[in-house]
Chains A and B, each alone.
Chain A
Amino acid sequence: MSQNTILEIKNVSKVFHTKDKDVEAIRNVSLNVNEGEFISIIGASGCGKTTLLRLIAGLEKEYGGDILLDGKRVEKAGLDRGVIFQEHRLLPWLSVEENLTIGLEGTKKELHNLAAEYLKKVDLENFEKVYPGQLSGGMAQRVSIARALMRHPRILLLDEPLGALDALTRMNMQTEIDRIREEEKTTMIMVTHDIDEAIFLGDRVVVMKPRPSEVDETITIELPRPRLRSSEDFAFYRNAIVNKFNHSIMEYAI
């Protein structure tokens, strides 16, 4: 793991102002992300993990503290951060190729070749002319990963990207993301509520606790890749995180 810090999150907090009250979505979160690292952020629903990711993505513009990407404070969204949403957000009236190359500049041939190259990377060769509605959920999500990677982001932000998929497709997609991470060496931050997924992919797993949303603990996963979900070491980490959860739920209840 290289020690070049690419993203610094320093004492970040976010309050949503609604009509009758202020809701504190996250409080005082700090985290450093190194180049090439895969960070899993895990927590129960409503713990602000998606808000944190949206802040990094620049989709929420006002926040306390600092989020620094390559030393520059994040103020708005941009191509240096790729975002994979829970739904694929492909435009249904554009073909896969048009979806991939939207907004990019270049000759028709250049764009076509680029699309083909990245479709190959996500294992969807020859899908250029297909429309999103013809794809399965897993395929569509892979196209959306290709769309993000094509723009060479410094960091890829995945917001429960596999949440809408069935269990089997989900496992295949985790392997796929692991492979892409290996090949592209892109820094990634993924929000999930699936403990196995967090361990399978993450170099570090950040456990967040709800209300107020803070980082509970950061666990470094020291397992060789590709990881085996059935291994004893895997189960060790799984138990550690499950215990962490039980603990914080108890705290919250009291």
Chain B
Amino acid sequence: MARELTLTGNENERNSFLKKLSGDIGSNKFGPRLLALLNTIAVPIILLALWQILAGSGLLLEVILPSPVKVVKAFVEMVKDGSLGADLVLSGKRVLIGYLWGAGIALILGMFSGLNKVAERVFSPIINVIRQIPLYAWMPIIILWFGIGEVSKEIIIARGVLIPIYLNTLQGIKGVQADYFELAEVLELKKAVFLRKVVLPSAVSSIFTGLRLGAGNAWMAVVAAEMLGGLTGLGYALMKSREFLWSDKLIALMVVIGVIGVVIDVILRKIEESTLRWKKKTAK
């Protein structure tokens, strides 16, 4: 909320206003935060306990539902023998390359389409058709054309990343208020200044939504691509675990995939926040 300062020209009042502004930032209390944390982890802890009880009861075969303890052991084993690390590095590299390509293309096309009607009429229908064909339906032909090597996995990931980033970038840029275009006219802003200081900042939230959705897709796509072809990576490790009935490893791998997905999302959100410093200062 904005504060009212109705008297003009009163120096004391003005200074105390400025002081208040700076004092309001960074007053986080520990107690409420702890409570919020408990709030978040309560249900997972209960589920974990239920899982342990169910697995320990002997009602289910161990191959169907291994106990949490066994899953942790499998995880430690995979870390120790280096297989998890190797798979992670391979999958991570594929995700990174595919993501950078997909995001790069999507950002360029999205901004272009957002600023130029002709470009939008060219690209939006194409992207829409690509979007309507599910990622999994693309895989056979991509593998047919590019084999089961790295390139086809990177293309599959890039395809998964392309859609949400394109759509959100386009929407963000088209959402720039008409008022700001008038302002640019009145202030005779140059195109480059208008883009950098007005268009991009007002689209940045939307663009980051796209980048985060894209990152989720990338991680999903790499696992799918590795399950379909190749002999390395987390997806392949999942398939192998299923074939050998290593259900403890299977679950451990799933958890690892989930946790990494969350970590990527958190990192992207932190980057987003750092670009939206003004919002933090303003929202109270």
Binding site for B on A (CB under 8 A): 57-59, 76-79, 81-83, 85, 87, 89, 91-95, 98, 102-103, 123-127, 130-140, 147, 151, 166, 168-169, 172-173, 175-176
Contact = CB atoms under 8 A, between A and B. Distances in A.
Nearest to A59: B182
5 contacts: A91-B197, A94-B278, A126-B15, A138-B8, A175-B8
B9 to A, nearest CB: 5
A67 to B, nearest CB: 16
Nearest to A99: B197
Contacts of A166: 4
B256 interface: no
B187 A169 contact: no
B6 A172 contact: yes
A123 B3 CA distance: 17
B36 to A, nearest CB: 25
Contact of A136 (B5, B198, B279): B5
Interface string B174-202: 00000110110111111001000110011
B18 interface: yes
B193 A59 contact: no
Contact of A89 (B4, B179, B188, B197): B179
Contacts of B198: 91
A91 B203 CA distance: 13
A103 B189 contact: yes
Interface of B: 2-9, 14-15, 18, 21, 179-180, 182-183, 185-190, 193, 197-198, 201-202, 276, 278-279, 281-283
B188 A92 contact: no
A79 B282 contact: no
Contacts of B6: 136, 138, 168-169, 172
A8 B5 CA distance: 39
Q: Which of B6, B7, B18, B283 has the most CB of A within 10 A?
A: B6
A138 to B, nearest CB: 7
Contact of A133 (B14, B188, B282): B282
B11 to A, nearest CB: 8
A134 B2 contact: yes
A126 B182 CA distance: 28
A92 to B, nearest CB: 6
A241 to B, nearest CB: 27
Q: Enumerate the 9 nearest inter-chain pairs by beta-carbon distance, A residue then B residue, closest first.
A: A133-B282, A77-B185, A93-B201, A103-B189, A93-B278, A136-B4, A83-B186, A131-B278, A77-B186
Contacts of B7: 172
A130 B15 CA distance: 13
Given A77-B186, A79-B188, A103-B187, A136 B8 contact: no
Given A79-B187, A79-B188, A134-B2, 5 more contacts: A93-B276, A131-B281, A134-B3, A172-B8, A175-B8
Contacts of A132: 282
